[in-house]
Amino acid sequence: MYRTVLALLVLSVAFAQSGYHKVRKIAVPGDGFWDYLIADGAGRVYVSHGTEVDVVDAKKGEVEGKITGLKLVHGIALAPEFNRGFISDGQANTVVIFDLKTLAKIGDVPAGMNPDGIIYDAASKRVFAFNGRSGSATAVDAEKGTAAGTVTLEGKPEFAAADGNVG
């Protein structure tokens, strides 16, 4: 317990010295499993929980929309150049594609078992979903909305970062 308190104190001091501070608290209603969130840089924050993704207008401080009809969501990746978002639906074993403007679902791509972490790599124009139970990653062509391939990985992949290079 003392280590946890000390770590929190160190983090508090570090954030205070860096200038980071809480600007506002925005309530996102809902129950269930909370997982990832992502901000689009234009004022929207996408928050996954349970069977939906809430879309928050950070400027207004309110939920402006929802993406529903999912089984158990995890991560969200955004490909604004194609006006598309992608959600890893772990229970459905799919990557759900949605329209960034209307938030309407526009497609599904089969993935491995339990897709969890998901990222968009702008350099390759691909979305990568990391399938925890099948130990693989599924690549999705972001423009076409189709599977580009799957690669087997070691362990139980959770998340990754793109380096901005192709190849």
137 in a domain, yes or no?
yes
Token pair, residue 14, equals 């570090």
Residue corresponding to tokens 């339990």: 114
3 in a domain, yes or no?
no
Residue 10: predicted pLDDT:
54
| 31-82 confidence digits (pLDDT tens) | 778 999 999 999 999 999 999 999 999 999 999 999 999 999 999 999 999 9
Closest CA to 53 of 71, 120, 61, 43: 71
Give CA–CA dist 110/94, Å, rounded: 5
Residue 32: predicted pLDDT:
75
Closest CA to 85 of 139, 46, 31: 46
Name the residue range of residue 51's domain. Answer: 26-152
47 in a domain, yes or no?
yes
Residue 11 has pLDDT above 60, yes or no: no
How many structural domains compose the chain? 1
Residue 121 has pLDDT above 60, yes or no: yes
15 in a domain, yes or no?
no
21 in a domain, yes or no?
no
The answer to whether the CB of 34 falls within 8 A of the CB of 48 is yes
The answer to whether the CB of 80 falls within 8 A of the CB of 100 is yes
Token pair, residue 72, equals 């158990």
Place 7 in a pLDDT band, splitting at 50, 70 and 90: low
The CATH number assigned to the domain holding 109 equals: 2.130.10.10
Residue 24 has pLDDT above 50, yes or no: yes
* C-beta atoms surrounding 116 within 10 Å: 21
